[in-house]
Amino acid sequence: MSGNPVTPIRQMPETVGGQPQAQIWLQPVAAPSILGLYGFAGATFMVAAHMAHWFGGTQTDMVLWPFAAFFGGLAQFLAGMWAYKARDGVATAMHGMWGSFWMAFGILWVLVAAGKVTIPANGAAFPALGFWFIVLAAITWAGTAAASAESSVVTAVLGFLAAGSTVAAIGELAGVQGLRILAGWLFIISAIIAWYAATALMVNASFGRTVMGLGAKPKPAEVQAGIGEPGVLRGQ
* Through-space distance between the first and last CA atoms of the chain, rounded to whole angstroms: 14
Strand partners, 16: 19
Query: Count of CB atoms within 10 A of residue 101's CB?
Result: 22
What pLDDT does residue 86 have? 84
Q: What is the pLDDT of residue 148?
A: 95
> Are the C-beta atoms of 186 and 160 separated by less than 8 Å?
yes
What integer pLDDT is reported at residue 2 of this predicted model? 37
What is the pLDDT at residue 6?
Answer: 44
Question: Phi and psi at residue 26, in whole multiples of 5°?
Answer: -120, 140
Q: Check residue 84 and give its pLDDT.
A: 85
Phi–psi pair at 218, nearest 5 degrees: -65, 145
Cα–Cα distance between 180 and 183 in angstroms, integer? 5
Please name which of 180, 216, 177, 222 lies closest in space to residue 200, comparing C-alpha atoms. 216
DSSP code for 7: E
What is the pTM for the complete model shown?
0.83
Instruction: Provide the pLDDT for residue 155.
Output: 97
- Ranges of H-type helices in 115-220: 127-147, 152-174, 177-207
Q: Encode the chain (236 residues) as per-residue pLDDT tens digits.
A: 334 444 444 444 555 566 666 665 556 678 999 999 999 999 999 999 999 999 988 788 889 999 999 999 999 999 999 998 888 999 999 999 999 999 999 999 999 988 999 989 888 999 999 999 999 999 999 999 999 999 999 999 999 999 999 999 999 999 999 999 999 999 999 999 999 999 999 999 999 999 999 998 776 554 454 554 545 556 67
